[in-house]
Structure 1
């Protein structure tokens, strides 16, 4: 009788343990930390792709093992802060189920992009030409967006300092070159209703492309104001 009783109790215990293990395996009362990290990682991957980064790595921090958040019945969503990529960023991962919660997790993105660098050393005061430049894949993580992918924004500028070979071109290295110099003779182009009139003038101030310049019409002796459009040429609208 005792043997049958012990056998019965053993069977009940085995069934109870099996059901408990099955319940734990099929679901947990707490949200998976790995799923939270995956949601943050996926958000950053999509954002980096939209920004056009060709090569990048994403590292997501770990959560404290003591952190216990309720299981989320809905898909986790992630949103970044105001930090610019690449670099360090705080990601908010949110659960929008009946028991909502939000947790912040730290992450970092290291990115590479094809940008313009110096093909050869460019001396201070030298005009930067297309022949001085080349595209190269660079780590732009620490450049804070201060780089160029459009050669037209560089070509024709003056180097304010020595730019070394293979060095990334940055805005503070460049100065706009003066296309109009005070005292020199220029061509004035006046346009109205599709008609273009050209006349000779004398510049009264220096100007870079797009800047206003005062010129003296050599025929009428009148002083007029126009816009520098290229070397030695000023455009006015009548």
Structure 2
């Protein structure tokens, strides 16, 4: 059992220990992490992508005052670019606030060329792959995966590292043989055709029915396949 004298010494020593309050933690690193954590909670991560947040270092000349109230963060201006100003506020009896800048990158999966691909080449596992790229650098309708792209043909030269888009490839290419699939609620017919124009998935193209000689408008559904809804 601890005697009265030893207990008194223990309590006295505890009183001499430094007091760590919420205010004592408010250094520059704390503020920077607070802003980053706030942005992480506010910005949704895209499917199969990721968000990269980098917070600027606060000017060392800035004096961060104590704050007994919980800090509050918000974005006072609408975020319309990768640059964001986060406002950190303290609502004590003598309130204060600090602005801290952050850069936000939304990274999306994009199909790119792993080597220079010449016009008229066929896409395969040796010349394309999916990587994450900064959304702000993307132009045109990019493609997020390789599904249905193996066997597509390029309509122009594509540099190494450049994104593969619907505009620079064709799943159905002018002058090539295609399968025409005619569909209705009650039946499906297949016949041979020749593409009279080029297109990517979902595009409308003109095709000539080899058997009848008729020209019809059809929708591109896959490599060298089009569908006509009756």
- The TM-score normalised by the length of structure 1 is 0.58
Aligned partner of 1:74 in structure 2 is: 70
Deviation, 1:38, is: 2.6
Q: Is the 8 A contact 1:119 1:133 kept in 2?
A: yes
| Structure with the greater alpha carbon radius of gyration | 1
2:199 to 199, 202, 207: 207
SS in 1 for 2:188: strand
> Using a 3 Å threshold, how does the CA distance of structure 1 residues 128 and 198 change in structure 2: closer, same or farther?
closer
Mapping of 1:138-157 within 5 angstroms?
Answer: 140=133, 144=137, 150-152=145-147, 155=150, 156-157=152-153
CA displacement 1:53-108 (0-9 Å, x = unmatched): 49x673432147356667351233344852555xx432232446676654321234
> Using a 3 Å threshold, how does the CA distance of structure 1 residues 77 and 126 change in structure 2: closer, same or farther?
same
- Measured on the aligned residues, the alpha-carbon RMSD in Å equals 4.7
SS in 1 for 2:172: strand
Verify: 1:234 aligned to 2:230, yes or no.
no
CA displacement 1:180-200 (0-9 Å, x = unmatched): 425x66443211124112344
Aligned partner of 1:60 in structure 2 is: 56
Mapping of 1:91-130 within 5 angstroms?
Answer: 91-95=86-90, 102-108=97-103, 118-130=113-125
> Using a 3 Å threshold, how does the CA distance of structure 1 residues 120 and 89 change in structure 2: closer, same or farther?
same
Q: Any stretches of 5+ residues in structure 1 without a counterpart?
A: 1-21
Q: Any stretches of 5+ residues in structure 2 without a counterpart?
A: 1-17
- The TM-score normalised by the length of structure 2 is 0.59
Q: Is the 8 A contact 1:159 1:173 kept in 2?
A: no
1:89 to 70, 80, 84: 84
Q: Is the 8 A contact 1:160 1:174 kept in 2?
A: no
How many aligned residue pairs are there? 205
Richer in helix (by share): 1
CA displacement 1:163-205 (0-9 Å, x = unmatched): 34xxx342469702251425x6644321112411234455443
2:189 to 177, 185, 197: 197
Q: Is the 8 A contact 2:108 2:135 kept in 1?
A: no
Deviation, 1:160, is: 3.3
Aligned partner of 2:170 in structure 1 is: 177
